[in-house]
Each structure stands twice: as structure tokens, then as C-alpha cells.
Amino acid sequence: MEEKKIVQIQYLEFEKQSTLSQNDFDLFEQAKGALKNAYAPYSNFLVSAAARLANGKILTGTNQENASFPVGLCAERVLLSAISSIYPGVAIESMAITYQPQNGKSQVPISPCGVCRQALNEYEIRLNQPIRLILGGLTGPVWIFDKCSELLPFGFNGSHLQ
């Protein structure tokens, strides 16, 4: 007998960035400020991320494209790599992600790509702490997820390899 199952996710939606808590607003501003460091000459789609770590430090990362397309990295994975290298074992409390198309508008939240969702999910598992995600464009609403695994409900992880 088959049984239909339902997967639900929950997130907060803020009408505009100015209604965020001061900590979230400041982190989101850090992400916006980092957009200038993105290297996206092929897609012209700049993405940046800022993370507040459990030790209070804030780091940023941006997308880094390459003419050999598979070689490029998304902002989220650049940031995860930097954090893992500079502050190994330190958990991420919150990560703000924003974007700016060079020929378009940035008015709605976008979520990380599938590869980044997998990498974020693995980081949560590895450090046994959820990562709050703050997603938004340069203007408009902001979405906040309590944990990034909400975006990947059937994520693959190390337990599947056993």
C-alpha cells in the first residue's frame, strides 16, 4: 500500500531588510559589501556570503568563476572553505547570502544552488550545529531559515556510505 508523504519547510519572511534584528542587518550588510569582490565575468551574476562564527568573527566569500566552467566556485563554498581553513572546528551561527546581476534587478531572495546546499548541510552535520541562513536581494524581502538543512530535506550524508 502506498502512502503519500508531505515535506514542509518553515522560514521567516521580513518585508524589508530594515526590519531585521541589528545582528542580522549588520551581517547582511557585510554580504552586500563583499559583492565588489566577486569575479563573475562570464555570468555577470555576482554572489556574496557573510558568516558570523561562534567565536564572533565575520568572514565573507564571493563567487569566483573561471573560463573552464566546472572550475568556478560559488560564494557559499568559497566561504565554507575559508572558514574551515582559518578557523577549523568553529561553528557558523548565521550566514547571509545576497546577489547582484550586472544587467538586472536584485529584489527577491534566492537560495543556494544544489551543490552549495549539500556543502552547507555537510558543514552543519560535521560541526553538529545548525546554520541560520539569511537570504535576500539588494532590496525587497528577506527570508530566514533556522537551519540550512531545511533547503535539502533528503540530503545525502556520510551515514549513507556505511
Q: Where are the alpha helices (DSSP H) in 35-105?
A: 75-86
The mean pLDDT of the chain is: 96
Q: What is the pLDDT of residue 49?
A: 98
> How do the domains of the chain map onto residue ranges?
21-153
CATH topology of domain 21-153: Cytidine Deaminase; domain 2 (3.40.140)
Could you tell me the CA-to-CA distances from 37 to 23, 55, 78, 114 in Å, in that order?
22, 24, 12, 23
For 72, what's the count of Cα atoms within 13 Å in the CB-facing half-sphere? Answer: 19
The 10s digit of each residue's pLDDT in 96-141 is 999 999 989 999 999 999 999 999 999 999 999 999 999 999 999 9
Q: What is the pLDDT of residue 76?
A: 98
Q: What is the pLDDT of residue 43?
A: 95
Active-site annotation holds for 76: yes
Pick the catalytic residue from 65, 76, 124, 150: 76
- Going by C-alpha positions, the residue among 44, 37, 40 that lies closest to residue 61 is 37
